C-alpha cells in the first residue's frame, strides 16, 4: 500500500513525458521542421557551409551519426568553395569511413568546388542542381610581395635563418627559382593526392580525372555528364535517395545535429564571418588551399 503513491507518481510522470514527446513530434511535423529525436529509422543531415577552415565540428557530427544505430543514412549538404588542404582531407577520410558502414548522399547547393568537392568525392552518391558550381579540382598557394613598397617608404627586413629556404614565400624578398621549384613540387604532390582521391571515390580512371583537374569549374549538369555527379536534384531529392539506399520505407524522418539549424540572423552572421575569413586567408596566404578563388 505504501508503494502505491510512488507508483502513481511514476505513472503520471511517464504519461506527462509521453504527452510532451508526442506533442513535440506533432508540432515539428506540422511546421515542416526536422527534429533531433524522431522515432524509428532516420536520415541524418550534416551541413558544410562556407570556407573549410577547421574539421573538428564536422568530424564530431559524423562520428555521432555513424554511431547512432537509428540513423541509417547520411546526407552531407555542401555549399562551399573549399578551404584548407588538411581539414578537407580529414573530412574526406571520415566521410569515406562513414560510407563503409552506411550510405552517404551528398547534396550540393550553390557551389561545391575544390575542397568542397574533395569532401564529397568518397560519398555513395552525389546530387547537384543543374546550375551548381562543381569542380575546381586543384591546389593553390598565394603570396604577396611588399618589397618595392617597403623600399619606397624606407623600411627594410632583416631575417636570420637556419637555411636558405627557411623564409620561403616571404613578402619582403623576391622568390627565387629554387623557391618556386620547391613550392611547385609541393603543389604537384598535393594535387596528385586530390586526383587520386577523386578517381578512387568516383571510380573514374585517374588519367581521365587528371585531364579535367586543371582548376576548371563545371555546372552541375556538365559535371554529371563527365561523372563527377550522379543525379540532378535538390536537398529533398538527396534525402529521399539516401532513404532508398538505406531501405527506409515511407517518408524518411530527418534529423540534424543538435543546435545545427540556425535562425536567419545566425545564418547571416555565420556566412558573413565565413566570407571575412576567406578574404583574410587570401590576404595572409595561409598554407595550401583546396579553394576556388571565384568565391566572393
- Catalytic residue status for 114: yes
- Whether the CB-CB separation of 256 and 34 falls below 8 Å is answered with yes
Q: How many other C-beta atoms lie within 10 A of the C-beta of residue 168?
A: 18
Question: Nearest Cα to 165, choosing from 151, 147, 177, 156?
Answer: 177
The cell numbers describing 213, all together, are 583537374
Q: Which of 164, 166, 211, 251 is catalytic?
A: 166
Distances (CA, A) of 131 to 149, 220, 294, 296: 42, 5, 15, 17
Question: Nearest Cα to 114, choosing from 131, 94, 95, 89?
Answer: 89
CA angle 108, 240, 248 (to 5 degrees): 140
CA angle 241, 63, 52 (to 5 degrees): 80
**Would you tell me the crossing angle of helices 56-67 and 85-99 to the nearest 10 degrees?**
10
Q: How many other C-beta atoms lie within 10 A of the C-beta of residue 211?
A: 11
Please report which helix (H) or strand (E) contains residue 288, including its range: none
Determine the Cα–Cα distance for residues 105 and 239; give it in Å rounded to an integer: 8
Q: How many other C-beta atoms lie within 10 A of the C-beta of residue 293?
A: 16
Q: How many other C-beta atoms lie within 10 A of the C-beta of residue 51?
A: 25
Question: b vs e for 169-188, b when ≥16 Cβ sit within 10 Å of the residue's Cβ?
Answer: bbebeeeeeebeeebeeeee
Determine the Cα–Cα distance for residues 153 and 144; give it in Å rounded to an integer: 17
Q: Which of 114, 122, 136, 197 is catalytic?
A: 114
- Catalytic residue status for 166: yes
Residues marked as catalytic: 114, 166
Amino acid at each position: 500500500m505504501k508503494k502505491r503513491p510512488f507508483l502513481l507518481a511514476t505513472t503520471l510522470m511517464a504519461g506527462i513525458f509521453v504527452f510532451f514527446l508526442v506533442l513535440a513530434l506533432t508540432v515539428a511535423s506540422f511546421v515542416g521542421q526536422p527534429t533531433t529525436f524522431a522515432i524509428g529509422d532516420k536520415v541524418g543531415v550534416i551541413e558544410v557551409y562556407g570556407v573549410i577552415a577547421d574539421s573538428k565540428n564536422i568530424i564530431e557530427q559524423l562520428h555521432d551519426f555513424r554511431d547512432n544505430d537509428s540513423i541509417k543514412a547520411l546526407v552531407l549538404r555542401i555549399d562551399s568553395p573549399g578551404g584548407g588542404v588538411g581539414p578537407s582531407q580529414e573530412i574526406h577520410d571520415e566521410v569515406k569511413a562513414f560510407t563503409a558502414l552506411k550510405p552517404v548522399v551528398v547534396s550540393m547547393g550553390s557551389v561545391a568546388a575544390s575542397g568542397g568537392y574533395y569532401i564529397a568525392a568518397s560519398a555513395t552518391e552525389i546530387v547537384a542542381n543543374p546550375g551548381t558550381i562543381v569542380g575546381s579540382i586543384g591546389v593553390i598557394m598565394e603570396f604577396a610581395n611588399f618589397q618595392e613598397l617597403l623600399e619606397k617608404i624606407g623600411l627594410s627586413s632583416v631575417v636570420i635563418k637556419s637555411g636558405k629556404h627557411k623564409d620561403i614565400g616571404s613578402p619582403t624578398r623576391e622568390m627565387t627559382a629554387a623557391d618556386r621549384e620547391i613550392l611547385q613540387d609541393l603543389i604537384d604532390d598535393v594535387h596528385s593526392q586530390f586526383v587520386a582521391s577523386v578517381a578512387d571515390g568516383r571510380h573514374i580512371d585517374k588519367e581521365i580525372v587528371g585531364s579535367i583537374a586543371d582548376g576548371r569549374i563545371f555546372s552541375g549538369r556538365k559535371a554529371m555528364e563527365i561523372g563527377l555527379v550522379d543525379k540532378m536534384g535538390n536537398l529533398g531529392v538527396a534525402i529521399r535517395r539516401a532513404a532508398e539506399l538505406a531501405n527506409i520505407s515511407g517518408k524518411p524522418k530527418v534529423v540534424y545535429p543538435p543546435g545545427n539549424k540556425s535562425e536567419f540572423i545566425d545564418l547571416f552572421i555565420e556566412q558573413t564571418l565565413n566570407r571575412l575569413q576567406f578574404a583574410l586567408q587570401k590576404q595572409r596566404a595561409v598554407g595550401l588551399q583546396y579553394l576556388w578563388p571565384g568565391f566572393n
